[in-house]
Amino acid sequence: MDLSARLLRLTPPRPLVVGAPGGTAARLAVERAVRERGWQPAMSPAEANILVVAGLAGHTLEACVRQVWNLVPAPRARVDVVGREDVARLLDTALRVLGDVDQQRAEATRPPDADTGHVEAESHHDVTPDEHHGDHGHHGHDMGGMDMPGSVPMADRADDRDGLTLDQLHVPLGPVLPLWPAGLIVHTRLQGDVVQHVTVERLGAGGGSFWRPPGDDGPDVHRAVARWLDSSARLLALAGWTDQSVVAMRLRDEALTGAPAAALRRPLHRWAGRVRRSRTLRWLLAGIGSTPDDPTTPALLAGDALTRLRRWLDSTENALEQPPAPLAVPGMRETQWTMDALPELLAGVELAAARLVVASLDPDLDVLSRHEAHHG
Amino acid sequence: MVEQTAWWGTLLLPVVLAVLALAAATFDATLAARSAGGDLRAAAAAPLRSVAGLLVQQRRRTLAADTLLWRGAGIVLLVAAVMAALVTPLGRWAVGDLSVGVVWFNAMEIVAWAAVWLAGWGGNSAFALVGGYRFVAQGLAYELPHMFVLTTVAIGAGSLRVADIVAAQQDLWFVVWMPIAFVVYLVSVLAMAFFRPFDQPVGGDIGGGALAELSGVDRLVFVAGRWVLLVSGAAMAVPLFLGGGSGPLLPDWAWSLVKTAAVLAVLVWAGRRVPTVRMDRFTEVAWMVLIPATLLQALFVSIVVI
Amino acid sequence: MREIAFWVCAVGAVGAGVAVFRVDSMARATFALLASFLFAGATVLLVDLTYLGVLVILMMIMEMVIMVVFMLMYMMNPAGLMPMTMVHNQKGSLAIAIGTFAALAAGVYLVDWPTSRTPRPADPTMQLGTALMGPNMLTMIVLGLALFATIIATVVLATSRGRYERYGHRLDRGRPDDPVRGGLGQ
Cβ neighbours of B281 in C, within 8 Å: 181-183
Q: Name the closest residue on chain A to residue C79, using Cα atoms.
A: A154
Q: How confident is the model at residue A138, as a pLDDT?
A: 33
**pLDDT band with cut points at 50, 70 and 90 for residue A150:** low
- Measured CA to CA, the distance from residue A244 to residue B275 in angstroms comes to 9
Report the number of distinct structural domains present in chain B.
1
Q: From first to last of its 306 residues, what are the pLDDT tens digits of chain B?
A: 677 777 888 899 999 999 999 999 999 999 999 988 888 888 899 999 999 999 999 999 888 888 889 999 999 999 999 999 999 998 888 888 888 999 999 999 999 999 999 999 998 899 999 999 999 999 999 999 999 999 999 999 988 999 999 999 988 999 999 999 999 999 999 999 999 899 999 999 999 999 999 999 999 999 999 999 999 999 999 999 998 888 888 888 899 999 999 999 999 999 999 999 999 999 999 999 999 999 999 999 999 998
Cα separation, A227 vs B217, whole angstroms = 40
Closest residue of chain C to B115, computed from CA coordinates: C65
Please check whether residue C120 lies inside any domain of the structure.
Answer: no
Q: Is residue C19 part of a domain?
A: yes
In A, which residues are within 8 Å of C81 by CB distance? 148-149, 152, 154
Answer for the pair B219, B211: CB distance below 8 angstroms, yes or no: yes
Task: Give the domain extent around B141.
Answer: 3-305
Is residue C128 one of the residues assigned to a domain? no
Question: pLDDT per residue over A216-266, tens digit each?
Answer: 566 688 888 999 999 999 999 999 999 999 999 999 999 999 888 888 899
DSSP string over B275-290: PPPPHHHHHHHIIIII
Cβ distance of B130 and A193 shorter than 8 Å:
yes
Tally the C-alpha atoms within 13 A of residue A101's C-alpha that lie toward its C-beta: 11
Q: Is A189 helix (H, G, I), strand (E, B) or coil?
A: strand
Contacts of C135 (CB under 8 A, 6+ apart): none
Is C151 in CB contact (< 8 Å) with chain B? Answer: no
Number of folded domains that form chain C: 2
- How distant is the Cα of C148 from the closest Cα of chain A, in angstroms? 25
In a domain, C147, yes or no: yes
In a domain, C153, yes or no: yes
Which residues of A are less than 8 Å from B58 in CB distance?
73-75, 108
Q: How confident is the model at residue C115 (pLDDT cuts 50, 70, 90)?
A: confident
SS3 at position A81: strand
- Residue from the list A49, A243, A353 with its beta carbon closest to the beta carbon of B272: A243
User: How far is Cα C42 from Cα A116, in angstroms, rounded to an integer?
Assistant: 53
List the domain range (segments joined by +) for residue C39: 1-78
| Residue C105 forms part of a structural domain | no
H/E element, A156: strand A156-159
List, as one string, the DSSP characters of B165-234. Answer: HHHTTSSS-HHHH-HHHHHHHHHHHHHHTT-TTS-GGG-GGGTTGGGTT--HHHHHHHHHHHHHHHHHHH
C183 touching chain A per CB within 8 A: yes
Chain C nearest-CA distance from B124, in A, is 9
CB within 8 Å: B63 and A130: yes
CB atoms within 10 A of CB C99: 10
| Rounded Cα–Cα distance for residues A119 and B231 (Å) | 45
Residue A355 has pLDDT above 80, yes or no: yes
Nearest to A146 among C82, C180, C181 (CB): C82
Residues 38-77 of C with CB under 8 A from A: 73, 77
Name the strands in the sheet holding A77-81, side by side, starting at the edge strand that comes first in the sequence.
Answer: A15-19, A50-54, A77-81
Say how many C-beta atoms besides its own lie within 10 A of residue B41's C-beta. Answer: 9
One-letter amino acid at B274 equals V
A323-327 — which CB contacts under 8 Å span 24+ positions?
A323/A221, A323/A261, A327/A218, A327/A219, A327/A221, A327/A224
Query: Torsions phi, psi of A113, nearest 5?
Result: -65, 115
Q: Which chains touch A (3 or more CB pairs under 8 A)?
A: B, C
Residue C71 maps to a domain: yes
Q: Shortest Cα distance from A166 to chain C (angstroms)?
A: 7
Nearest-Cα distance to chain A for B82, in Å, is 25
Instruction: Select from B103, B101, B87 the least CA-distant residue to B9.
Output: B87
**pLDDT tens digits for A204-227?**
766 778 887 776 566 688 888 999
Which residues from A are below 8 Å from C77, CB to CB?
154
C22 alpha-carbon distance from chain centroid: 21
Contact C79 B66 (CB under 8 A): yes
